[in-house]
């Protein structure tokens, strides 16, 4: 049991005693020369041992790589998997930081508020305290389907990018990261919900109030309103991406809006 000092004057003695233990000399192997004991892991070393890898330190953003499930058959394979993970992690970290530094301070602040549950409505993204960093940013062999193929899920709180994407050209990776964050920004600023009200809910309610309509007529009207919403949605994304300096991604959204 560790000694607990009874008065402040013993604190210095206790500190010196603990420091001496870290510098103690231990016998070497097979009677060889003695060597110093290994110091305890630092906070940075512990962080490297975690599944979550540092992405943007100032904003507390992390990401993780989903490793293959199952025991590795050899040390060689384990080393290759580790080397591949390090390369993928480095490529993704560089691409994400390029995208993150291009956003305006207002957009960055809106996203951080959304993820930390400190927005105007003070409603956290996760109803229960999360045991993992928010947002969850992950690279995996297979990713779940998302709305609009943006790699963004859970109302902008989770991002799942395919591992193969990090192995492609850096410009393609940055473009997809930017688009996913733009989708999350629409949730963070409540633009997603406002656009649904403006383009679908309110026009439909006004149309129905004029006179009674048949179910088939309502279906046709709703289909038209949804098409209008999708065009407005694409225009929103295009405007955000252009503001962040991703003209190629904005052009892609413009082409999608014409289809």
Residue 134 lies in a domain: yes
Q: Do 62 and 128 fall within a single domain?
A: yes
Q: Do 64 and 163 fall within a single domain?
A: yes
Q: What is the mean pLDDT of the chain?
A: 75
Q: Do 82 and 164 fall within a single domain?
A: yes
Strand segments, DSSP code E, in the chain are 25-26, 35-36, 53-56, 61-65, 136-140, 152-153, 158-162
Q: Do 152 and 197 fall within a single domain?
A: no
Q: Strand 158-162's sheet: what is its strand order?
A: 53-56, 61-65, 136-140, 158-162, 152-153
Q: Do 162 and 58 fall within a single domain?
A: yes
Strand segments, DSSP code E, in 141-192 are 152-153, 158-162
Residue 78 lies in a domain: yes
24 has a pLDDT exceeding 50:
no
**More confidently predicted of 150 and 200:** 200
Q: Do 69 and 165 fall within a single domain?
A: yes
71 has a pLDDT exceeding 60:
no
Q: Do 163 and 220 fall within a single domain?
A: no
Q: Do 58 and 162 fall within a single domain?
A: yes
Residue 144 lies in a domain: yes
| pLDDT score for 77 | 65
Give the residue from 169, 204, 238 where a domain finishes. Answer: 169
Q: Do 202 and 144 fall within a single domain?
A: no
Beta bridge partners of 185: none
Number of folded domains that form the chain: 2
Percentage of the chain with pLDDT > 70?
63
Residue 182 lies in a domain: no
Residue 177 lies in a domain: no
Q: Do 60 and 98 fall within a single domain?
A: yes
Q: Do 153 and 225 fall within a single domain?
A: no
**More confidently predicted of 128 and 250:** 250
How far is 171 from 122, CA to CA, in rounded Å? 36
Residue 75 lies in a domain: yes
Query: Is this model's pTM higher than 0.95 or not?
Result: no
Residue 185 lies in a domain: no
| pLDDT score for 181 | 95
User: pLDDT of 74-90, one tens digit each?
Assistant: 666 667 667 778 888 89
32 has a pLDDT exceeding 90:
no
Give the residue from 138, 169, 200 where a domain finishes. Answer: 169
User: pLDDT of 198-233, one tens digit each?
Assistant: 999 999 999 888 877 788 888 999 999 999 999 999
Residue 181 lies in a domain: no
Q: Do 194 and 165 fall within a single domain?
A: no
Domain that holds residue 232: 190-259
Q: State how beta strands 53-56 and 25-26 pair.
A: unpaired
Query: DSSP character for 148?
Result: G
What value does the mean pLDDT take over residues 163-190? 89
What value does the mean pLDDT take over residues 146-152? 72
């Amino acid at each position: 049991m560790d000694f607990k000092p009874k008065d402040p004057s013993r604190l210095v003695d206790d500190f010196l005693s603990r420091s001496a233990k870290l510098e103690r000399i231990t016998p070497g192997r097979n009677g060889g020369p003695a060597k110093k004991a290994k110091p305890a892991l630092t906070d940075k070393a512990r962080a490297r041992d975690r599944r979550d890898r540092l992405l943007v330190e100032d904003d507390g953003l992390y990401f993780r790589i989903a490793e293959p499930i199952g025991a590795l058959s050899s040390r060689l394979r384990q080393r290759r998997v580790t080397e591949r993970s390090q390369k993928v992690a480095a490529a993704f970290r560089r691409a994400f930081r390029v995208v993150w530094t291009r956003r305006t301070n207002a957009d960055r602040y809106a996203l951080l508020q959304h993820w930390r549950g400190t927005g105007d409505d003070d409603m956290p993204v996760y109803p229960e305290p999360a045991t993992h960093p928010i947002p969850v940013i992950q690279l995996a062999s297979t990713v779940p389907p998302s709305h609009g193929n943006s790699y963004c899920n859970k109302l902008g709180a989770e991002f799942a990018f395919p591992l193969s994407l990090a192995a492609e050209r850096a410009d393609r990776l940055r473009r997809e990261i930017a688009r996913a964050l733009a989708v999350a920004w629409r949730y963070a600023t409540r633009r997603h919900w406002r656009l649904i009200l403006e383009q679908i809910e309110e026009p439909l309610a006004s149309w129905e109030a004029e006179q009674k309509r048949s179910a088939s007529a309502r279906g046709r009207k709703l289909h038209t309103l949804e098409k209008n919403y999708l065009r407005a949605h694409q225009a929103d994304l295009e405007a955000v991406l252009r503001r962040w300096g991703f003209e190629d991604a904005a052009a892609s959204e413009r082409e999608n809006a014409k289809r």
